[in-house]
Amino acid sequence: MSDIKFSPTTTGAGLVAFLDYAIAKGYLKTATGQAMKTAVKEILSATQGPDGWETVDLTSLDEDDVLRRFETLRAMKFSAGSLSTYKGRYARAAAMFEEFRASPSTWRPSVKQRSRTKGNGASTAAAPAPTGLDGAASPIPTPHPAPHPGRGSAIITYPFPLRQGVLASVELPPDLTRREAQRLVAFIESLAIEDEVAASAQPPPESRDGTRG
């Protein structure tokens, strides 16, 4: 269980204190938590002022408005990709903070299960792309709507070829708005690791005779 004695204020400083708490308790990796803290400080100081961001009441803020103003105010300082990364990290941190405040004693960060690796280094979740009898890649299934519990509209599952041998999928409502799409992009970018780190984790390619280089 989480420490119910820890009760941070609903301020910018309280959000940073919560991230420190999550790091100390092992709920967040240090690098992840520090990156979120940087995003929180950068966004709140830009929109609330360097002297007011720590004391601002987060419950009084419109998150979409804050992120939009941050993007405008820091457009000359950061690239579009960095702006999206900052916004995604802030949104994720704010969401976790809200979940914690709703139930401190049972809170756990929402973490999506990653692919587990077998002893031989093969992933248990990354299946090869489907192929036909001639070895060519089979066509990707057509997205289809499916009922979603607790919602009035259907949810469409879109398959997406992420990389060789990995077919990802995303579930979205048919009436997805541009703002929702931008928030989704920012969130996905906050989950990504650097290309160099991902490349170093890949096994060496096999030569034509089956040996690894």
Residue 199 in domain: no
Residue 134 in domain: no
Rg of the chain on CA atoms, in Å: 21
Question: Of 130, 121, 126, 124, nearest to 166 (Cα)?
Answer: 126
Please give the pLDDT value at position 123.
Answer: 46
Kindly report which listed range (63-72, 106-115, 146-155) carries the lowest average pLDDT score.
Answer: 146-155
Please give the pLDDT value at position 171.
Answer: 85
Residue 34 in domain: yes
Residue 115 in domain: no
Residue 75 in domain: yes
Residue 86 in domain: yes
Reported as type and span, the H/E element at residue 83 is helix 80-102
Q: How many domains does the chain have?
A: 1
The string of pLDDT tens digits covering residues 187-203 is 887 777 765 555 555 55
Residue 140 in domain: no
Please give the pLDDT value at position 158.
Answer: 81
Task: Return phi, psi of residue 157, to 5°.
Answer: -95, 120
Residue 7 in domain: no
Please give the pLDDT value at position 211.
Answer: 54
Please give the pLDDT value at position 75.
Answer: 92
133 pLDDT band (50/70/90 cuts)?
very low
Please give the pLDDT value at position 209.
Answer: 55
Residue 21, domain extent: 12-102
